[in-house]
Structure 1
Amino acid sequence: MEVLRPWLTGGVASILLVLNALFWVPLLLCFAVLRLLVPVAGWRRLLAPVLVFIAESWIRCNSGWMALTQRTAWDVQGVEGLDRQNWYMVTCNHQSWVDILVLQHLLTGRIPLLKFFLKQQLIWVPVMGLAWWALEFPFMRRHSEAYLKAHPEMRGKDQETTRKACAKFSLHPTSVMNFLEGTRFSERKRLQQQSPFTHLLKPKAGGLALALNAMGDKFQAILDVTIVYPDGVPTFWGFLCGRLRRVSVRVQALPVPQALAHCDYAGEAADRAEFQAWVHQMWQDKDALITQLLARHRSA
Structure 2
Amino acid sequence: MQNKAFDQVIGVVSALALLAHTFILGTFLYLAIVLKVISPKWLVLKIFDPIIVFIASMWLEGILWWIDWVYRPKWNITGVDNLHKHNWYLLTANHQSWVDIFVLYKLFHQKAPFLKFFIKKELQYVPIVGQAWWALDFPFMQRYSREFLKKYPEKAGDDMKETQKACEKFSVVPTSIMNFLEGTRFTSEKHTKQHSPYKHLLKPKAGGLAFTIQALGDKFSSISNATIVYPDHTPTFWDMMCGKIDHILVEVNSIPIPAHFSQGDYQTDRQLKQEIHTWVAQLWQQKDLDIERMLCEHGQKQLASSRFAKN
- Assess same fold via TM > 0.5: yes
2:92 corresponds to: 91
Aligned-partner residue type, residue 168 of structure 2: A
- Say which SS state the counterpart of residue 213 (structure 1) adopts: helix
| Pairwise CA RMSD | 1.4
State the alpha-carbon separation in 1 of the partners of residues 146 and 46 from structure 2: 39
**Residues 169-180 of structure 1: pairs in structure 2 closer than 5 A:** 169-180=170-181
1:290 corresponds to: 291
**Residues 115-264 of structure 1: pairs in structure 2 closer than 5 A:** 115-264=116-265
Matched residues, number: 300
CA contact (8 A) 1:74 1:248 kept: yes
Deviation at 1:220, TM superposition (A): 4.8
Q: Which has the larger radius of gyration?
A: 2
- Say which SS state the counterpart of residue 4 (structure 1) adopts: helix
**Residues 103-122 of structure 1: pairs in structure 2 closer than 5 A:** 103-122=104-123
Q: Cα gap change, 1:178/1:145 in structure 2, threshold over 3 Å: closer, same or farther?
A: same
State the alpha-carbon separation in 2 of the partners of residues 241 and 181 from structure 1: 27
Alignment identity in percent? 43
- Say which SS state the counterpart of residue 77 (structure 2) adopts: strand
Query: What's the CA shift string for 1:92-150, capped at 9, x where partnerless?
Result: 10000000111112210011111111111111223221221121211111112221121
CA contact (8 A) 1:216 1:256 kept: no
CA contact (8 A) 1:17 1:65 kept: no
Relative to the length of structure 1, the TM-score reads 0.96
1:59 corresponds to: 60
State the alpha-carbon separation in 2 of the partners of residues 281 and 142 from structure 1: 26
**Residues 73-92 of structure 1: pairs in structure 2 closer than 5 A:** 73-92=74-93
**Dislocated runs of 4+, deviation >6 Å:** none
Deviation at 1:42, TM superposition (A): 4.3
Deviation at 1:261, TM superposition (A): 2.2
State the alpha-carbon separation in 2 of the partners of residues 254 and 30 from structure 1: 40
CA contact (8 A) 1:87 1:220 kept: no
- Say which SS state the counterpart of residue 3 (structure 2) adopts: coil
Q: Cα gap change, 1:3/1:190 in structure 2, threshold over 3 Å: closer, same or farther?
A: closer
Relative to the length of structure 2, the TM-score reads 0.93
The 10-residue stretch of structure 1 (28-37 or 180-189) with the greater mean CA deviation from structure 2: 28-37
Aligned-partner residue type, residue 174 of structure 1: T
Deviation at 1:16, TM superposition (A): 1.7
1:27 corresponds to: 28
The 10-residue stretch of structure 1 (280-289 or 60-69) with the greater mean CA deviation from structure 2: 60-69
State the alpha-carbon separation in 2 of the partners of residues 220 and 36 from structure 1: 34
Aligned-partner residue type, residue 193 of structure 1: Q
Gaps in structure 2 of 5+ consecutive residues: 302-311
Aligned-partner residue type, residue 189 of structure 1: K
Aligned-partner residue type, residue 83 of structure 1: H
State the alpha-carbon separation in 2 of the partners of residues 237 and 11 from structure 1: 10
State the alpha-carbon separation in 2 of the partners of residues 28 and 252 from structure 1: 34
